[in-house]
Amino acid sequence: MVRLSEADRITEYNEQMALAAFEQALAGLSDPRRRQGVRYPLRTVVVTALMSMICGCDDAEAMEAWSEANAEWLETFLDLPHGPPSQDVYLHVFGALEPRAFNEVFQRWADLVSLRIHGSERHIAIDGKTSRGSADPSTNRLAIHTVSAWLCGEGLVLGQLKTSDKSNEIKAIPELLSVLSISGATITIDAMGCQREIAEAIIDGGGNYILAVKSNQPLLHRQVQDTFVELDDPRHRALDETPRPQAETFEETTKDHGRIETRRVRVTRDLTWVMSQERWKGLSFVAEVTRERVLVRSGKIATEKAWFVGSGQIGSAERVARAIRNHWGIENELHWTLDMAFNEDRARHRARNTAANMSTLRHFALSIIKRDPNRKLGVANARKIAGFKRDYLVTLIGLATEN
pTM for this prediction: 0.81
Q: Establish if 66 belongs to a structural domain.
A: yes
Mean pLDDT in residue range 132-155: 71
Structural domain range at position 291: 218-234+243-314
Q: Are residues 222 and 305 in the same domain?
A: yes
Where does a domain end: 289, 314, 339? 314
Mean pLDDT in residue range 272-291: 95
Where does a domain end: 270, 297, 314? 314
Query: 300 near 283, Cβ under 8 Å?
Result: no
Q: What is the pLDDT of residues 373-387, one digit of tens each?
A: 889 899 999 999 999
pLDDT tier, 45 (very low <50, low <70, confident <90, very high otherwise) = very high
pLDDT tier, 2 (very low <50, low <70, confident <90, very high otherwise) = very low
Q: Establish if 120 belongs to a structural domain.
A: no
Which pLDDT does position 197 carry in this prediction?
A: 95
Which pLDDT does position 154 carry in this prediction?
A: 79
Contacts (Cβ under 8 Å, ≥6 apart) of 53: 63, 342, 361, 362, 364, 365
Q: Establish if 347 belongs to a structural domain.
A: no
Number of domains in the chain: 2
For the chain, counts of helices (H) and of strands (E): 15, 9
Q: What is the pLDDT of residues 215-233, one digit of tens each?
A: 999 999 999 999 999 999 8
Question: 260: closest CA among 298, 307, 287, 317?
Answer: 298
Which pLDDT does position 385 carry in this prediction?
A: 95
Q: Establish if 13 belongs to a structural domain.
A: yes
Q: Establish if 282 belongs to a structural domain.
A: yes
Work out the mean pLDDT of the chain and round it to a whole number. Answer: 84
Q: Establish if 171 belongs to a structural domain.
A: no
Position with higher pLDDT, 316 vs 219: 219
Query: Considering the chain, what percentage of its residues have pLDDT values greater than 70?
Result: 83
Q: What is the pLDDT of residues 183-195, one digit of tens each?
A: 889 999 999 999 9
Where does a domain end: 294, 314, 334? 314
Q: Establish if 147 belongs to a structural domain.
A: no
Residue 129 has pLDDT above 90, yes or no: no
Q: Are residues 300 and 381 in the same domain?
A: no
Q: Establish if 34 belongs to a structural domain.
A: yes
Which pLDDT does position 139 carry in this prediction?
A: 61
Looking up residue 293, the CATH number of its domain turns out to be 2.20.130.10
294: enclosing H helix or E strand:
strand 283-295
